[in-house]
């Protein structure tokens, strides 16, 4: 039995599907956050160099990963919306931006808090830190541009262009520690090498990342639903929905 995926690209059916999925992702996220934080703060061992201060890694790294992943997903949806003129794709892209910006800010903020005691400075203009800051500006630029244009379809197109241009920055962030001398250390976890951290620490970090994913999906679905309602407020199905409520 084939699922008709195109059915869910129509805002009304996506609206009800998302409504059913939100509780699922929210609950999974809460459970995983509780588990991940417990492992991070109580189970994972003390580090040999940084002792307890390293524990900020359980928030810092998942946040930094999410900031990059979400940007790619946002740009992907924006590109689909631009190429195929599908309204819902652009709405999802718009819904991703604030969550992406939040994770970027969190990565920078926790990084500063970590940098002060360990490196001896809150901030340096090295390639990794600077490119992550540019990512924050890209998210803010995307949101500001969309907010500045009244016609939502034109706002979608303009946003898609800025999102696609910014994709260049993602490999720069990821490989910055490899391509240039930076104060930020190299990757602990990568696809090509075995992780350079104790298994319990890694487990905690991966569970936290999964929790961030679930949180992001739940919040983005909620925001997409709001955007759908806002843009389709003059349609029959939305007034029917209001009548039913």
Partner 1 sequence: MKPRHRKLTIIIMSVAALGLAATLVLDAFQSNLVFFFSPSQVAANEAPKGKSFRIGGLVEEGSVKRESDGVTVNFVVTDTAKVIPVVYTGILPDLFKEGKGVVAQGKLSSDGIFRADEVLAKHDENYMPPEAADALEQAKKSQKTVMTD
Binding site for partner 1 (CB under 8 A): 45-50, 54, 57, 79, 82-85, 117-121, 124-127, 164-165, 167-168, 172, 179-183, 185-188, 196-198, 201
- Cβ proximity to partner 1: between 54 and 213 the closer is 54
Rounded to the nearest 5°, which phi and psi values hold at 51?
A: 45, -125
Smallest gap from residue 120 Cβ to partner 1 (A): 3
**What's the CA gap between 205 and 195, in Å, rounded?**
12
CB 128 within 8 A of CB 177: yes
Q: Give the separation between CA 177 and CA 216, rounded to whole angstroms.
A: 27
| Residue 145 vs 229, nearer CB to partner 1 | 145
Min. distance of Cβ 80 from partner 1 in angstroms? 9
> Minimum distance between the CB of residue 127 and partner 1, rounded to whole angstroms?
5
Q: In terms of CB distance, is 24 or 198 closer to partner 1? A: 198
Phi-psi region of 67 (alpha: psi -120 to 50; beta: other; left: phi over 0): alpha
Cβ 23 to partner 1 shortest distance, Å? 35
Rounded to a whole number of angstroms, the minimum distance from the CB of residue 119 to partner 1 is: 5
Among residues 56, 180, 159, the alpha carbon closest in space to that of 108 is found at: 56
**CB burial readout 90-119, b (16+ within 10 A) else e:** bbbbbbbbbbbbbbbebbbebbeebbeeee
Task: Tell which residue, 187, 193, 215, 189, has the closest CA to residue 202.
Answer: 189
Nearer to partner 1 (CB atom), residue 7 or residue 116? 116
Nearer to partner 1, 83 or 147 (CB): 83
Query: Between vectors from CA 94 to CA 88 and to CA 99, what angle results, nearest 5°?
Result: 125
Would you say 19 or 117 has its CB closer to partner 1? 117
| Least spacing, CB of residue 156 vs partner 1, in Å | 14
């Amino acid at each position: 039995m084939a699922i008709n995926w195109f059915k869910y690209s129509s805002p009304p059916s996506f609206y009800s599907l998302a409504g059913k999925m939100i509780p699922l992702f929210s609950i999974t996220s809460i459970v995983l956050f509780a588990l991940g934080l417990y492992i991070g703060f109580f189970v994972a061992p003390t580090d040999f160099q940084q002792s307890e201060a390293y524990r900020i890694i359980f928030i810092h790294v998942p946040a930094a990963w999410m900031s990059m992943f979400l940007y790619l997903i946002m740009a992907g949806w924006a590109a689909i919306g631009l190429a195929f003129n599908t309204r819902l794709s652009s709405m999802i892209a718009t819904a991703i931006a604030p969550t992406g910006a939040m994770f970027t800010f969190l990565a920078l903020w926790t990084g500063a808090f970590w940098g002060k005691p360990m490196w001896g400075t809150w901030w340096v203009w090295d390639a990794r830190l600077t490119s992550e800051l540019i990512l924050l500006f890209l998210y803010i630029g995307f949101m500001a541009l969309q907010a500045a244009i009244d016609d939502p379809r034109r706002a979608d197109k303009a946003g898609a262009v800025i999102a696609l241009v910014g994709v260049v920055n993602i490999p720069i962030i990821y490989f910055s520690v490899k391509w240039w001398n930076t104060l930020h250390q190299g990757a602990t976890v990568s696809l090509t090498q075995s992780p350079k951290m104790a298994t319990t620490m890694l487990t905690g970090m991966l569970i936290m990342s999964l929790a961030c994913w679930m949180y992001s999906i739940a919040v983005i679905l909620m925001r997409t639903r709001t955007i759908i309602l806002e843009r389709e407020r003059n349609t029959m199905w939305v007034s029917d929905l209001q009548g039913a409520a």
